[in-house]
Structure 1
């Protein structure tokens, strides 16, 4: 593995800039990399709210009794707590499940209530979680609008409309993640080749990822099949108020565009002397991240959108728009359920025993 990922940094905060140019930049980055850095100026999501979300994650994973988290164990609606090794993102290649904990918060109700069990230790944070969820939702709508414009989709608001809460329920999730320090893991528990989070593409339309400065681990797979690290702060953003928000294209936008927009495979690894590193980052400590998995209304069909560029790309691929080698006509919910069953083996195996 050599070098680092060369992902473009795009600023969408200035409403007076040429929106057509910004839309084109977003589309080209989504085609080439499947990942895009969005400068976090605080306009869409205040920096203090990002800081508060990470403080909440620390309280959840470090101060909340395990009994409280177990009472909120993740269910088939993809909401709740998953313990260490409970999720296996790459079941074909992983010896054990992911070395991480996670807590998934589904979309809040119209009244701002979370529609799932919440550990008492963090229950007072429910209004904040709901607000942060909504801030991420609004940013994802802006990005979907720009992608639709950049692809000249007809109608241009197709992606946006597909994600409006008032149009139906979705699988959208706000996820807090915790990866323990490698030194805290027993030697007999971790083997060679184990990873913190297995190689995968994301299940929804797009993901907004928030990370902390100095915490390494995320890698993406290039078109050539190589793994390269993704810096938390790419060149030019080191002095920004907060690291840029890392946006990646998920399976559904790839389906909708005949595979033109790239749903890139990525993973989180342990530090390794053999792997390249990013200056100023380390994988030797505990790691936190926050992911907002944007999903469309669950009944939306994953058929190619009306766009000349999407149509032409499909023809270039001999009519085989693909995501990681295959193309099936599904709804958004059907695709999500298929991926969840593969990742949460124990949850679905236990059902079969009942």
Structure 2
């Protein structure tokens, strides 16, 4: 049974050659659009990841009336119930089989949105985990700058710095209830419809042996993405899965690939040995966006300028330069 052949990188080992790691990251982003990052606690403490999953289970177990008081707003923050979101409306007759809760950035340690009373005692924990994710995406963006020979190499990192303005970055908790496989209605087996992500980078945290994620290959074949690929089974936690979003693909003229993916019920030819969806599935995603007012001007990299992909940033003066928020709003339409 074929599975996604996604590279596994270790970016936390300080003894490694940073330039080599950066180039490996870029090549994986070009070829696959997805990269596994070993999760050994060097960048985000393992207990922080485990604590975030415990909090997620507590949140989704909260009374419905509590969650309804925190319904998702136009700013993309808050709770969305079962089948609220439809990521692939052209091919889905009903919404995704999942619940979500989106957290925006905190201010002075306080949430800028309603939070269910059941988890208010976890406010500091949420803020800290959000910061861990933010800092790791800064590191990843810096490595991309090095790997693409951007001048200066801090170009992408600086574009995401809080000190330079607010962004639309979101920490999302996800809950997929365990539901029986239905062969009469194949579309009902989709937990999250086929889509590509909107922003710069997405970091996805998953629990051991909880399957469902698939990516679409250029051959138009869906293949599963194992939670723990070969060589990571003895790690203290599954690797963090990083993928390129539409904005970063656009910004690099399509050089970095934004790959279509979905979440399904595990079964049939796409079953991964050792993974089962008998129980509910939980995952945590951090959607990284640049500063909202940032103009998406041409990346100062000869490799990016020399790549003539479909779409992407044009030469200065050819057309209106989009800001990061304007690019995001185009996806929301």
TM-score bucket (shorter structure): over 0.9
How far does residue 320 in structure 1 lie from its aligned partner after superposition?
Answer: 4.0
For normalisation by structure 1, the TM-score amounts to 0.89
Q: Is the 8 A contact 1:144 1:159 kept in 2?
A: yes
Which whole-Å CA distance do the structure 1 matches of 2:264 and 2:227 have between them? 14
1:78 matched to 2:76? The reply is yes
| Alpha-carbon displacement from aligned partner over 1:125-157 (angstroms, at most 9, x marks no partner) | 010000000000000000000000000112211
Stretches of structure 2 that go unaligned for 5 or more consecutive residues are 314-318
Of the structure 1 ranges 28-37 and 331-340, higher mean CA displacement relative to structure 2 is found in 331-340
Which whole-Å CA distance do the structure 2 matches of 1:225 and 1:302 have between them? 30
Which whole-Å CA distance do the structure 1 matches of 2:282 and 2:332 have between them? 22
Which whole-Å CA distance do the structure 1 matches of 2:295 and 2:76 have between them? 20
Change (3 A) 1:290 1:123: same
Which whole-Å CA distance do the structure 2 matches of 1:31 and 1:140 have between them? 18
**SS in structure 2 opposite 1:220?**
strand
1:137 matched to 2:128? The reply is no
1:92 is matched with which residue: 90, 99, 107?
A: 90
Q: Is the 8 A contact 1:271 1:284 kept in 2?
A: no
How far does residue 311 in structure 1 lie from its aligned partner after superposition?
Answer: 1.1
1:259 is matched with which residue: 236, 239, 254?
A: 254
Q: Is the 8 A contact 1:255 1:303 kept in 2?
A: no
Which whole-Å CA distance do the structure 2 matches of 1:296 and 1:127 have between them? 24
Q: Is the 8 A contact 2:43 2:136 kept in 1?
A: yes
Which whole-Å CA distance do the structure 2 matches of 1:259 and 1:95 have between them? 31
Q: Is the 8 A contact 2:250 2:311 kept in 1?
A: no
1:299 matched to 2:293? The reply is yes
**SS in structure 2 opposite 1:178?**
strand
Moved over 3 A (4+): 319-322
Which whole-Å CA distance do the structure 1 matches of 2:200 and 2:212 have between them? 23
Stretches of structure 1 that go unaligned for 5 or more consecutive residues are 342-354
Counterpart in the other structure of 1:127: 124
| Alpha-carbon displacement from aligned partner over 1:332-354 (angstroms, at most 9, x marks no partner) | 1122223234xxxxxxxxxxxxx
Q: Is the 8 A contact 1:201 1:264 kept in 2?
A: yes
Counterpart in the other structure of 1:290: 284
* 1:52-201 alignment, distance < 5 Å: 52-62=51-61, 64-109=62-107, 111-183=108-180, 191-194=185-188, 195-201=190-196
| Alpha-carbon displacement from aligned partner over 1:181-214 (angstroms, at most 9, x marks no partner) | 014x9x79x9322310011111110011000011
Counterpart in the other structure of 1:339: 331
**SS in structure 1 opposite 2:11?**
coil
2:266 is matched with which residue: 257, 263, 271?
A: 271
How far does residue 328 in structure 1 lie from its aligned partner after superposition?
Answer: 8.9
For normalisation by structure 2, the TM-score amounts to 0.94
Which whole-Å CA distance do the structure 2 matches of 1:339 and 1:98 have between them? 18
Counterpart in the other structure of 2:49: 50
Once superposed, what is the RMSD of the aligned Cα atoms? 1.8
How far does residue 284 in structure 1 lie from its aligned partner after superposition?
Answer: 3.2
How far does residue 123 in structure 1 lie from its aligned partner after superposition?
Answer: 0.5
**SS in structure 2 opposite 1:41?**
coil
